[in-house]
């Protein structure tokens, strides 16, 4: 896998689903925000409350990248 594959998705809305952890069963199972940066050890996202969160790859089960809105969705303001 190329190292620059996530560069195309910077500043896009993503949903991170965490891998199950027996150490913290009561915590949230997902994190949502804008992908701001990535490195060899994890992802940096900006949450909706404008705080930054670092998520290590070892804690991630799935990353969903939301598609960019179409021209018509941007024009009419109807976002999915």
pLDDT tens column, 50-71: 999 999 999 999 999 988 878 8
Distant-in-sequence, close-in-space partners of 2: CB < 8 Å, separation ≥ 6: none
Considering just the CA atoms, what is the radius of gyration of the chain in Å? 14
- Per the CB < 8 A criterion, the answer to whether 54 and 69 are in contact is no
For the ranges 4-8, 21-25, 42-46, 59-63, which has the lowest average pLDDT? 21-25
pTM, 2 dp: 0.73
DSSP letter string, 28-67: -SEEEEEEEEE-SSEEEEE-TTS-EEEEEGGGEEEEEEPP
């Amino acid at each position: 896998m190329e190292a620059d594959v996530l560069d195309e998705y910077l500043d896009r809305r993503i949903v991170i689903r965490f891998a199950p952890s027996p150490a913290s069963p009561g915590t949230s199972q997902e994190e949502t925000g804008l992908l701001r940066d990535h490195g060899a050890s994890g992802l940096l996202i900006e949450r909706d409350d404008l705080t930054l969160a670092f998520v290590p790859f070892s804690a991630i089960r799935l990353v969903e990248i939301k598609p960019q809105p179409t021209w018509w969705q941007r024009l009419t303001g109807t976002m999915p």
